[in-house]
């Protein structure tokens, strides 16, 4: 059986002595108090992905994005100069939610010259400046300026729009992303504009679900059918495995390898896969994306399958060898609930066959997702039962170990920096 080489000596984990190899506590996934600290220490300070530039195709385009659990809605808009800006979605007059359609809880998007508050009619331009106050003479000492929307730090990397809720930035987006994720600059994400979106409210801590996607140790037992419908198809020749792990600051990468299904003998496939030429690793026929694809497969694996870039804290970008990509985002809403968003992106179909291949990949994604989601509340219940203080992680679970350590470090550093902290 082909095993891809681990680091020259030892294991993946032992190459990072700071991680240790001992059992790990998951109290960070069960404690309401820790959840509150985590929100302030991580989600109100880290760069968070809220969308893609393709959602703002023209000057004046805008969308709103709810950040569940953060009690925040953001307006992201492209101003008349083409610059993307982000604001708190709150009217300066009496705090009404400014931009919404349907109900204030729904997200919306569109194109506008200005935003008009539905309550008393104040108006704002796409740079957030207040341009109209209804009956201004009725107010007392209304300042000439300072009536604009509250801006939020925003920046763009490789077409991904990020915001940072901190009042004062500690790091630029590019510095924050570091060299491993930064190497994706120039990857043709912008060619993949046919999008399929899924959203789920899950009964588990957000980290419990992330943990399910940062190891492939669970694949043979949990996703048995995706490995192939016959025992022959599950032989080592077709083995799917986590072949490369990489850490960079708070971010992580796992690269998988395996024989792609389009190379399999037809008798090892589901009939629908052979018919649609698509399946769990996506459409078999890859679009032409050019010769060099920056940033992907950094370890040079010959049977490269998927790169899963895990951008701290809550974004994953999965780039498939077959020329499509998926993003996952996780928004904690309490210590034991979160909202999951999954988006699939393809080069737009040029004909019905390609469209069918995309649709079938999306369908298979949902089946996979349900299998992964299916264990979540069971894991959460088990952890909350408190039967064990710590748990054993193997070498393939190195990213789980790194993730929980990073979360703990961010929370500890934040606590230490608080005025009055005994650790300060």
By a kind-dependent CB cut-off of 5 to 8 A, residue 372 interacts, out of Fe ion, ligand FES, none, with Fe ion
In angstroms, what is the minimal distance from the CB of 72 to ligand FES? 17
Complex with ligand FES: residue 119 or 365, whichever CB lies closer: 119
Neighbours of 419 (CB within 10 A): 5
By a kind-dependent CB cut-off of 5 to 8 A, residue 120 interacts, out of Fe ion, ligand FES, none, with ligand FES
Which tokens hold the place of 255? 């690269």
**Which of these, 396, 101, 380, lies nearest to 245 by C-alpha position?**
396
Q: Which range binds ligand FES by CB under 6 A, 44-52, 119-127, 210-218, 402-410?
A: 119-127
Distance separating alpha carbons of residues 22 and 20, to the nearest angstrom = 6
Complex with ligand FES: residue 143 or 265, whichever CB lies closer: 143
In angstroms, what is the minimal distance from the CB of 327 to Fe ion? 16
Instruction: Kindly tell me which residue out of 74, 117, 317, 400 binds ligand FES, with binding defined by CB under 6 A.
Output: 117
Complex with ligand FES: residue 116 or 373, whichever CB lies closer: 116
In angstroms, what is the minimal distance from the CB of 95 to ligand FES? 6
Q: Is the dihedral of CA 283, 289, 295, 298 positive or negative?
A: positive
Interacting positions 75-104 with ligand FES (CB under 6 A): 91, 93-94, 96
Determine the residue with CB nearest Fe ion.
372
In angstroms, what is the minimal distance from the CB of 226 to Fe ion? 9
Beta-strand pair 114-116/123-125: antiparallel
Complex with ligand FES: residue 149 or 399, whichever CB lies closer: 149
By a kind-dependent CB cut-off of 5 to 8 A, residue 4 interacts, out of ligand FES, Fe ion, none, with none
* String of contacts with Fe ion for each residue 323-362, x by CB under 5 A: ----------------------------------------
**Which of these, 91, 70, 87, lies nearest to 78 by C-alpha position?**
87
Determine if 120 is a binding residue for ligand FES (CB under 6 A).
Answer: yes
Distance separating alpha carbons of residues 296 and 363, to the nearest angstrom = 25
Distance separating alpha carbons of residues 163 and 150, to the nearest angstrom = 13
Complex with ligand FES: residue 93 or 355, whichever CB lies closer: 93
Interacting positions 24-53 with ligand FES (CB under 6 A): none
Which tokens hold the place of 342? 């999954």
In angstroms, what is the minimal distance from the CB of 94 to ligand FES? 4
> Site for Fe ion (CB under 5 A): how many residues?
1
Q: Is the dihedral of CA 11, 243, 317, 382 positive or negative?
A: negative
Complex with Fe ion: residue 160 or 213, whichever CB lies closer: 213
CB of 70 within 8 A of CB of 338? no
Distance separating alpha carbons of residues 424 and 411, to the nearest angstrom = 13
Determine if 372 is a binding residue for Fe ion (CB under 5 A).
Answer: yes
Which tokens hold the place of 243? 């072949």
Q: Name the strands in the sheet holding 130-132, side by side, starting at the edge strand that comes first in the sequence.
A: 114-116, 123-125, 130-132
Instruction: Kindly tell me which residue out of 11, 21, 25, 119 binds ligand FES, with binding defined by CB under 6 A.
Output: 119
Distance separating alpha carbons of residues 271 and 268, to the nearest angstrom = 9
Q: Is the peptide bond before 313 cis (omega within 30 degrees of 0)?
A: yes
Determine if 217 is a binding residue for Fe ion (CB under 5 A).
Answer: no
Determine if 59 is a binding residue for ligand FES (CB under 6 A).
Answer: no
In angstroms, what is the minimal distance from the CB of 80 to ligand FES? 23
Integer-rounded Cα Rg, in Å, for the chain is 23
Q: What is the per-residue DSSP string for 64-90? A: EEEETTTTEEEEEEE-TTS-EEEEESB
Complex with ligand FES: residue 122 or 187, whichever CB lies closer: 122
Contact residues for Fe ion (CB under 5 A)?
372
Contact residues for ligand FES (CB under 6 A)?
91, 93-94, 96, 117, 119-122
């Amino acid at each position: 059986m082909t095993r891809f080489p681990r680091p020259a000596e030892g294991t993946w984990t032992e190459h990072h002595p700071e991680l240790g190899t001992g059992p790990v506590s998951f109290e960070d996934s069960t404690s309401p108090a820790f959840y509150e600290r985590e929100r302030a220490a991580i989600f109100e300070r880290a760069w968070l992905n809220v969308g893609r530039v393709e959602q703002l195709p023209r000057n004046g385009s805008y969308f709103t994005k709810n950040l569940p659990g953060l009690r925040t809605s953001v307006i992201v808009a492209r101003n008349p100069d083409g610059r993307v800006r982000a604001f708190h979605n709150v009217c300066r007059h009496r705090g009404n939610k400014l931009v919404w359609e349907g109900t204030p809880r729904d997200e919306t998007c569109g194109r506008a010259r200005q935003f008009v508050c539905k309550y008393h009619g104040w108006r704002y331009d796409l740079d957030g400046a207040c341009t109209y106050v209804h009956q201004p003479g009725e107010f007392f000492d209304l300042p000439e300026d300072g009536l604009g929307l509250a801006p939020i730090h925003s920046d763009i990397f490789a077409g991904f729009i990020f915001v940072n809720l901190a009042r004062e930035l500690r790091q630029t987006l590019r510095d924050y992303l570091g060299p491993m994720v930064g190497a994706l600059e120039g990857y043709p994400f912008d060619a993949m504009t046919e999008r399929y979106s899924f959203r789920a409210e899950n009964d588990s801590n957000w980290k419990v679900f992330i943990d399910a996607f940062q190891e492939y140790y669970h694949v043979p037992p949990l996703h048995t059918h995706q490995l192939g419908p016959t025992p022959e198809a599950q032989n080592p020749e077709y083995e799917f495995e986590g072949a490369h792990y990489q850490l960079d600051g708070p971010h992580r990468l796992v690269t998988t390898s395996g024989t792609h299904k389009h190379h399999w003998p037809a008798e090892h496939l589901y009939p629908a896969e052979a018919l649609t030429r698509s399946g769990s690793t996506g459409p078999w026929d890859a679009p032409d994306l050019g010769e060099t694809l920056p940033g992907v497969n950094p370890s040079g694996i010959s049977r490269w399958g998927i790169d899963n870039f895990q951008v701290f804290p809550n974004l994953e970008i999965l780039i498939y060898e077959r020329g499509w990509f998926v993003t996952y985002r996780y928004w904690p809403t309490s210590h034991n609930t979160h909202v999951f968003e999954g988006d699939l992106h393809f080069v737009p179909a040029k004909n019905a066959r390609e469209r069918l291949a995309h649709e079938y990949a999306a369908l298979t994604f949902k089946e996979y997702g349900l299998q992964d989601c299916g264990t979540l509340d069971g894991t959460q219940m088990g952890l909350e039962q408190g039967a064990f203080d710590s748990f054993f992680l193997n070498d393939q679970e190195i990213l789980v170990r790194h993730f929980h350590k990073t979360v703990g470090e961010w929370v500890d550093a934040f606590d230490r920096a608080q005025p009055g902290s005994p650790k300060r």
